[in-house]
Amino acid sequence: MTAALALRGLGHQYRGGGWALHDCNVEVPTGRVVALVGPNGAGKTTLLNIAAGLLRPTTGAVQVTGERPDRQLARIGYVAQDAPLWPRLRVAEVLELGRCMNPGFDAQLAQARVRALEIPTRARINALSGGQRAQVALTLVLAKRPQLLLLDEPLANLDPLARREFLTSMFATCAEDGVAVLFSSHVIAELERICDYLVVLLAGHVQVAGDIDDIRASHQVVTGPLDWPQHTQGVNLVSASSTAGRTVALVRPEPGQRFGPGLEESEPTFDELALGYLSGPQAPATQVSA
C-alpha cells in the first residue's frame, strides 16, 4: 500500500546557508495518527510546510500518496498554529470560499459540522473565540476530504475544553475516512492519548520514527548505580539522567541483550520515549517498521 507520506533524504537549507532539515527519512502508513515531537527550532514547521506543498525541499524527495505534494493539494489538509482565516468575513462566507477554491469540497459536511458545534454562520471570524476559529479552520480542511491532514500546534492557544472538543470532533471525522494525521504539539500527554505513530525531530534530524508500540517494545528503561552505563560495553544508549544516587537510562538493546544483576529494567512509557530522544545526543535515526 502506498504510504500517506514518504520523506526520503529530505533536506531544506535556509538562504543564509543553515539547514532546517537534513537527511530526513520517514514513511507514514495510511490511516495512522502521527505525533511529530521536537523542541522549538527543530524543523517541525518546515517539514509540515514541505509536506503541504508550500515549500520545496533543497535535497531529497517527498511524496503524498505516491505523488509530489504540489500535485496532491486537493488531498492535503493543513491547519497552522494561528488558524489563519479572513477576519472580516462571516463564517458562511468563509465556507463558501472554501467551496469555490477546492474541487470536491463537501459543503454539506462543512455546514453540518458548523451547526453541530453551534458556531453562528453570520458571525464574523474576528468575533469568534479562539476555539471557534480553530474549528472553522479545521472544518475547511476536513470538507476537502483530505487523505493527509497536517496540524501545526493547532491547539496552542486554546483552553482545555476547546482542546478536547477540537480533538474529539477531528478524530471522529478522520476515523470515518481513514485519514492519516501528522500532529505537531508540545503537549506530550495530549499526543499519547491520540497518536499511534511517533516521529521525533531534533535539530533538523529524525531521531526515531515508527509505530509507538513497536518502538516501546524495542527499548528499555534501565535504572542502576551512578556509574552505569559509563563502564558497560555494548550499550546502545539513547539518553541518561542521574538523581538521588541512581542513573536512569533509555537504551535500545540488541535482541536478547540483558544488562546484568543489580539493574532494574522496564518498558518505556510514551513520555520516556519522547523525552529520552529529545534530551539525548543526536544519533543515527532509528526507523522502526510499522
Q: What is the CATH number of the domain that holds 69?
A: 3.40.50.300
pLDDT tens, position by position, 176-191? 788 999 999 888 877 8
Q: Are residues 97 and 152 in the same domain?
A: yes
> What pLDDT shows up at residue 290?
44
**pTM of the predicted model as reported, rounded to 2 decimal places:** 0.89
Asked whether residue 38 is assigned to any structural domain, the reply reads yes
181, 212, 243 - which closes a domain: 212
Q: Are residues 72 and 147 in the same domain?
A: yes
> What pLDDT shows up at residue 233?
66
> What pLDDT shows up at residue 174?
79
Q: Which residues of the chain have pLDDT under 70?
A: 1, 230-233, 282-290
Strand order in the sheet with 246-251: 237-243, 246-251, 220-225, 264-266
Q: Are residues 26 and 141 in the same domain?
A: yes
Question: Distance of CA 80 to CAs 49, 85, 151, 153, 178, Å?
Answer: 9, 10, 6, 7, 21
Asked whether residue 280 is assigned to any structural domain, the reply reads no
Q: Are residues 43 and 152 in the same domain?
A: yes
Q: Are residues 51 and 188 in the same domain?
A: yes
Q: Are residues 236 and 168 in the same domain?
A: no
Asked whether residue 277 is assigned to any structural domain, the reply reads no
Q: Are residues 120 and 228 in the same domain?
A: no
Q: Are residues 73 and 207 in the same domain?
A: yes
Asked whether residue 287 is assigned to any structural domain, the reply reads no
Asked whether residue 273 is assigned to any structural domain, the reply reads no
Q: Are residues 196 and 238 in the same domain?
A: no
Asked whether residue 104 is assigned to any structural domain, the reply reads yes
Q: Are residues 55 and 167 in the same domain?
A: yes
Q: Are residues 190 and 259 in the same domain?
A: no
Counted domains in the chain: 2
* Alpha carbon distance 228, 46 (integer Å): 38
Q: Are residues 108 and 184 in the same domain?
A: yes
Structural domain span for residue 116: 5-212
* Alpha carbon distance 14, 18 (integer Å): 5
Asked whether residue 286 is assigned to any structural domain, the reply reads no
